[in-house]
Every structure is written in structure tokens, then in C-alpha cells.
Structure 1
Amino acid sequence: MVDAYLSLGSNIGERETQLQLAIEQLNMTPGIRVKRVSLIYETKPVGYVDQPDFLNLCVSIETNLPPFQLLQACLEIETRLHRVRKERWGPRTIDIDILLYGKSIIEDEHLSIPHPRMSERAFVMIPLNDIASDVIEPRSNKLIRTLVQPDDSVVKYK
């Protein structure tokens, strides 16, 4: 089993419900067990800003799925929850990104682990720090808690 960390976000429809459904779907997927869930944070959109605010959280999972099968499982959950991919950084019912997969470093056309922009995104790093402050990010070899930058735009939702 490998410990992995995922980021979940939603800004269409019942955002909190979408996040909860995604967590339930992850837990029902053979080979995945959700271990911890961060607090939920509300954030402004990045990139394409003319859209509703996001709710974001991170989960830690234990999995025996190889990285590309985990990616496929995440994409299937997004599809089941009516994710439509129209434009980069556009609105979405659910977005599930693999942030970390054990100590793996993977560079592929379809999958990059650690997630290439995670340390630049407070809406990822702040919830990740809730559940993984003592985890080492394998590229920088630094603890997650040392990579987090305070950001007033990332607000606890509940």
C-alpha cells in the first residue's frame, strides 16, 4: 500500500455535496481507502476568473493502485459526477488531482507527480498542510509545512 494525497475542488452546483460525493466514490473504489480529509476552504478561481468561487480540500488515501490506475480512477469519478472539460481552468462540478504518490517522481505526458504547480497554489497547500504537514515533498525534499505560504484569500469554509 502507498500513501497518496489528492486535491479536490468544486465550483458548480452544490459544491460541498460534490466534494462529499467524490470522497465517498474514492472510498468505494477497490484499492483506495480514504484516511484523512482536510478542512474545506473557499477560494477565488485561478486563471479564468469569471466563474463562481471554489471549495477545495485535500484527502490522504492508502492505495494499492499504480499511479496511472489511480489517475484513471480519479477521472472516472469526475465523469460520474458530471465533470465536463471545456476549457482549462474553467468551472467544474469536481476536480481531482493527484498531488503526491508515496515518494514517487513521475514525469509523463498524462501524469506529473508531485503535481507540478501544487507548491504555487495556496488553495492546495493550505488544506494539504492540514493532513500532511510532516510529509516530505520528494522534489524539494522539504516538509509540506515548510512549503506553505499564508494567504488571506484561502478562507476556511466550515
Structure 2
Amino acid sequence: MRQAACGGGAPQAVRAYIAFGANLGDPAAAFDQTLAQLSALAATRLAGRSRLYRSAPVDAPGQPDYINAVIAVDTGLAPLQLLHALQELELAAGRSRAYRNAPRPLDLDLLLYGETRWHDGELTLPHPRMHQRAFVLRPLAELAPGLHIPGHGDLATLLPAVADQAAIPL
């Protein structure tokens, strides 16, 4: 399914939301560095950030807890360009994809890119599991409490379904 051109340049700025997570090294320092790096991306401006949250790793017992947040940017980058920039930041921070759900010093997921709905082998928008995760929905609600998630509904109606998941503000 493709409802927006994702490979070429975007003609105007679009609000995108990015999930931040880290459970290795110094996650708070990694967050600050990520904010600076996102602000330095071409055609991209930092538009907001949530506070930090602590959550247990998903499907990865024995790992340290994650520090999570959501970042809003206004960007002229196309979705795939933004995704590739996020992946470069992860790689530069030492992210290894040795196995599924491996611990990481930096994890950046493109959650939303305006109202774009997209699915191919590289990118799915909205992020396919964001509506099931308190560590995404709670910080997202700080930034955009009235947000509508395409294909899933209003953020406020999704929050009760994750009420049993611990995502503790720091």
C-alpha cells in the first residue's frame, strides 16, 4: 500500500514523530545527542520532545530497562530519506542488529509522517506496533494529545488499551 511518494524530496515541511529508545550506555546523554543531531538534519527542525520514560524491554528478559521518549520534527525530507537518516544515527551510536530485540545504545523508529500511510519492505507508516505500546503512546500524548493515528484512531482512545503496561515518567 502506498499513499504518498516516499522516495523523492518532500515539497514542504511535514510533522513527523520519532520514537527514541536506549538501554545501553548513557540513554539520557544519547537522547540529548539525538536531539542535536535531528536539529542538524537538512530541511528538519525540532518541533518538540516528550520527557523521558522508563520501560521494561519487550520480549527480551534479562536486559536493562529502556529509556524512551518521542520527538516531533518538522521536516522537508521524504519519509525514506528521514528513515535512512535515523538509521545512520543509530549506526553512528553503535547500534548492532545482531539479533531481534538486542539491547541497543540507540533505537529510533519513525512512527508517523503526517497522515502518510505506507507499507513496503523497508518502511511501514504508521509504525505497525506503535498503537500497542505504552512507552510510545504516553510520550506521544504529551506532544499531541489530540492526535489521530491513521488506521488506528484517536490517541486518547488507544491509551486505555495499554494502561496495564509500565511506562514510568522520569
| Amino acid in the other structure paired with 1:89 | N
Report the alpha carbon displacement of residue 64 of structure 1 after superposing the two structures with TM. Answer: 0.5
Aligned partners of 2:165 and 2:116: how far apart in 1?
Answer: 31
How many residues are paired up? 156
Unaligned runs of 5+ in 2: 1-12
Contact 1:41/1:155 (<8 A) preserved = yes
Q: Does 1:100 align with 2:112?
A: yes
Q: Cα distance, 1:151 vs. partner? A: 3.8
d(CA) in 2 for partners of 1:124 and 1:115?
A: 10
Out of 63-72 and 145-154, give the one that drifted further.
Answer: 145-154
Aligned position for 2:41: 29
Deviation at 1:39, TM superposition (A): 1.1
Does 2:51 align with 1:50? Answer: no
SS in 2 for 1:148: helix
What stretches of structure 1 move > 3 A for 4+ residues in a row?
A: none
Root-mean-square deviation (Å): 1.1
Distance 2:165 2:119 in 1: 32
Task: Name the % identity.
Answer: 35
- Aligned-partner Cα distance in 1 for 2:124–2:73: 18
In structure 1, what is the equivalent of residue 155 of structure 2? Answer: 144
Give unpaired runs (5+ residues) of structure 1: none
Secondary structure of 1:7 counterpart: strand
Structure 1 counterpart of 2:129: 117
Q: 2:166 aligns with which of 139, 153, 158?
A: 153
Q: Is contact 1:6-1:58 (8 Å) kept? A: yes
Distance 2:31 2:22 in 1: 7
Deviations 1:19-71 (A, max 9, x none): 11111111111121111000110011001122110000001110001110000
Higher radius of gyration, 1 or 2: 2
TM-score, reference length from structure 1: 0.95
Residue 85 of structure 1, CA deviation: 1.3
Residue 134 of structure 2 contacts residue 165 of structure 2 at CA under 8 Å; is this kept in 1?
A: no
Query: Which TM-score applies when normalising by structure 2?
Result: 0.88
- 1:67 alignment partner AA: P
2: CA distance between counterparts of 1:95 and 1:143? 25
How far the C-alpha of 1:152 sits from its partner, in A, is: 5.5
